[in-house]
Structure 1
Amino acid sequence: MFTKKVVVAYNDTDLSNDVLDYVHEILEMHAEIELNIVYAYEHPLENPSPFQRNYDDGAPEMLAYAEQIIQKAKNRFVDLPNHVEGFVYDTGPAAAILSHAHDHHADLIVIGNRGTRGLRELVSSVSRTIQTKSHIPVLTFPKFVQEEFEEEYHK
């Protein structure tokens, strides 16, 4: 078996839902693979400045929303015998995913890639950060845009 535990980064976008569809197909073939679904969000500031006083007001709602997102993702796997768990972290996504994979002895990280380029990719790409800092294999799914595919390959 190529993996025993898979960590999937999830944020309820079309791309992350496509990633879950792919992972579902893999789990259908291998009931022994465990799945950890990770959702991370930035927690509001603990000591806001006078200009940020109301920033922390939404913290309970953010956590409740995050838990709903994880439950939605887990529900996609109820038809399978695999062990599926969801985890919510209130820290940056790259750090949360890498830390979770290490702490839970994962064999593979699966994440979507929006296809940002240039400086933006180097500065803000979660998938790029995970690829460069992970000590385990990372499977990235590029965002597939039908129009770009047709222009490039059907000229």
Structure 2
Amino acid sequence: MKLSETKYNKLLLTEFKGDKNQLHTEFVRVIEEHGYSEEIKIDFYKAAFNSLMNWHKTHTRKDEFYYDYLINLYVIFINALEEDEIDTSDIEAELEEFKTNKIPIYLSSTSALENRNYNPNTKYGRKKAREQALRNYENGTPEYRKEQDNIKVWAMVILIIGVVIFYWLKSKFMK
């Protein structure tokens, strides 16, 4: 069994969006430390895959395609290993664990909501923007609603302070 380094480098760099320089330097370091053998190369590529998957799990936007995207990455790597007749039981076990520990995703306030720009200088644009804001508030997550409520409270506090200062200054200068 001869493992194609270019195949796995291409797979890890293009499909999994790995860093070319870091992958190359780590590969050279591992080969220098442990020698050049097919088992070492297999372990290296599996470790690189796990590292990239951990990065994707934390940095990929958690929307409705999140789980399908990550499962697809697992399947691509498993298929590549199976083409070379390499044991994939450990990665398949990780995939099954990932599927069973599937935590429901609550969409972030920005990805779940409609964000279309309307012209505020027209009656139609103001009406559509107002409707959109109401729809976003109704369909938003509790965090989004809390954030919007906090903005409203602070705006009211600033407005009240401004009115108080205005009347205080008016009473001082109108005497």
TM-score over 0.5 for the pair: no
TM range (shorter): under 0.3
Q: Which structure has greater strand proportion? A: 1
Normalised by the length of structure 2, the TM-score is 0.24
Who wins on radius of gyration, i.e. which is larger? 2
**Larger RCO, structure (CA 8 Å, separation 6 or more):** 1
